[in-house]
Structure 1
């Protein structure tokens, strides 16, 4: 659940939450006195809808390894069939996952592109 802010509805704000996937000691240390956990996500509230607009830090920890989305996105975007990509972290029981999304150039169907070496 997100904390309601009284700030401007069009400004970008940090997005704190009250529930976490795993309440580890590190997570407990990051919870403020009111019980809010800072996720590092940035969000904007507009017309009653909350929209995630980015992160305050670009780091995903996956199986103890640091994954930097901009580095992975740069490799994906270097592929001639990719026009845009995004890499995000996903919470799954027991571990985090990294998911990548790619927008292909017009005329390229998923699974038919050239391999990148």
Structure 2
């Protein structure tokens, strides 16, 4: 048996009115010019957001490059400091001081028999 064309699925009228109220509640009644204006604002906000993101990305890359340069300079300074500390240790060693004093000032370390303690 084939149903007639005017037969519909039964839905209570309360359900239809609730759905319609819900649909009307969330529907915005805006004119075309206001919708176009809001769309333009959204597009402009998106573009500005992307530009700001790219700006901060560029700043971060510049800071990363500066940090790499500073790291290189810092390692050079560290290596130079180690070399200078080693040179200072060589120059201030007791053997070096005694040798320089003997040559330049004609001073010598006293022997065991020359030192008397009271």
TM-score with structure 1 length normalisation? 0.18
Structure (1/2) with the larger helix percentage: 2
TM-score with structure 2 length normalisation? 0.17
Flag the structure with larger Rg: 2
Structure (1/2) with the larger strand percentage: 1
Considering Cα pairs closer than 8 Å and 6+ residues apart, tell me whether 1 or 2 has the greater RCO.
1
